[in-house]
């Protein structure tokens, strides 16, 4: 009975990690589309997209239990820090008006 419960939990963990990988893959594509020079005028957004793609590829080669650490680092580098930069840029433009 314990082994079947452990298998169910492991299958659930694998499914969650696969869902996270799919989300990260889609984030990279979104950055390429929305971050292109035509839409936002920020070419460095392409670098963020490449970072998401590289991180997703790295997730395939890292053992299952250390994947959440890499995901946390990627969210910090590719989501939170650029968000702060966008916010401060927007705030400075609002002050100039």
Query: pLDDT 10s digit of each residue in the chain, 97 long?
Result: 577 777 777 787 777 777 666 666 666 666 666 555 555 566 777 777 778 888 888 888 877 777 888 888 888 998 888 889 888 988 888 888 7
Count of structural domains, the chain: 1
pTM, two decimals, is 0.57
φ, ψ for residue 59, nearest 5 deg: -65, -25
- Which residue, among 97, 13, 27, 17, has the nearest Cα to 35 in the 3D structure? 27
What is the CA angle 72-73-74, rounded to 5?
90
Contact 74, 52 (CB under 8 A): yes
Domain that residue 74 falls in: 2-96
* Amino acid 56: pLDDT: 80
* Amino acid 30: pLDDT: 63
């Amino acid at each position: 009975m314990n082994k079947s419960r452990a298998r169910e939990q492991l299958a659930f963990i694998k499914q969650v990690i696969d869902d996270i990988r799919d989300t990260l893959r889609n984030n990279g594509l979104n950055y390429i589309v929305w971050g292109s020079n035509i839409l936002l005028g920020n070419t460095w957004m392409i670098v963020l997209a490449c970072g998401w793609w590289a991180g997703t590829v790295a997730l395939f080669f890292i053992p299952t239990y250390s994947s959440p650490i890499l995901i946390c680092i990627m969210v910090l580098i590719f989501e939170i820090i650029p968000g702060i930069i966008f916010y401060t840029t927007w705030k400075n433009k609002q002050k100039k008006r």
